Amino acid sequence: MPKAKKHRRKASITSSSLTGVPLPSGSSSNPSSTRTFIRQFHVLIKRKAQLQRLLEEPRIRKFDEQDATRKELASIEREITNLGGLETYQRMSSIGQGNDRGGGSEKVLIGWLNEFSEPQRLCETNGRFKLLEVGALKHDNYAAHASWIDNTPIDLHSRHPSIKEQDFLLLSEDQNRSKWDIISLSLVVNFVPEPKHRGRMLQLAHTMLRSDGYLFLALPLPCILNSRYMTPEHLQDLMQNLGFTQMRSRWKEGGKMAYWLYKKTAIPSHRNLMPYQKKTVLRTGNRNNFCILL
């Protein structure tokens, strides 16, 4: 009788394997190690949010269940700390956007705005776009375009005095209503652990953009091509229901990133939000669980 196969658990990433290795400014660590670290960090952050939600649930849970949840949460938090925390995650992400890796996503946004002749139009009128760059890892991503872009970079953990430490989801909706010409959500929505908070982020972006303002969205390509709950068509319908018209999109089969440029339009009067209020399986098989809920 053949022996059953043993499933070996993947070894966790430790601080000694990643964070203990010095990473010179402007150079890249091993690309595979960087991607593995970022994926592992996302998994830990998502599980941490799930455990915190369980502890906050109003229904009565057995003491041993609560105790087990607290112990797992403490273990997850220790592993995040051992990985170096958010600061190391940001450092790895910044390296992934280095010039030797093709640069940051701002190049894509600038390229599209040039296609629409926005720089020329603004320079002729002595105007500047008010840009809110969410999840900014560098303070000077748009410095070369300061003549027509007035950039405000924010992040959960500021790495520079010019980057405001701010949670986008906690920004005042009233104070930011129709305030921004462009909002950049590059590798931000996928970092948010709760699917409903991802949807809330997109809804807030619509509120905070001026009429005809631009939303720039960047996600890892597997979020739309290898998810149980998300496809390019599903995302397109979701954005239309939120009041966004797609102007540009860019990705390639076998690539790692997907980019979109949307323009704010009126929210449809007869929109249907039901397909985006609970997880609906769109694919089966070995898939990831990325989704956006409203």
Residues annotated within a binding site: 135, 155
Taking a C-beta distance cutoff of 8 angstroms, is the pair 257, 218 a contact? yes
Binding-site entries for S-adenosyl-L-methionine: 135, 155
Q: In terms of Cα–Cα distance, which of 103, 136, 121, 82 is closest to 26?
A: 103
Alpha-carbon span 160 to 139, nearest angstrom: 7
Alpha-carbon span 28 to 183, nearest angstrom: 28
Pairing, β 164-165 against β 129-134: unpaired
Say which residue the tokens 């930011």 belong to: 176
Token pair for 274: 């039901």
Say which residue the tokens 């000694």 belong to: 16
Token pair for 270: 């007869």
Token pair for 242: 């939120």
Alpha-carbon span 91 to 247, nearest angstrom: 31
C-alpha R_g of the chain: 21
Alpha-carbon span 35 to 38, nearest angstrom: 5
Alpha-carbon span 140 to 81, nearest angstrom: 28
Residue 238 CB: number of other CB atoms within 10 A?
20
How many angstroms separate the Cα of 153 from the Cα of each of 186, 204, 230? 12, 17, 29
244-250 β-sheet, strand order: 164-165, 149-155, 129-134, 180-186, 209-220, 257-264, 244-250
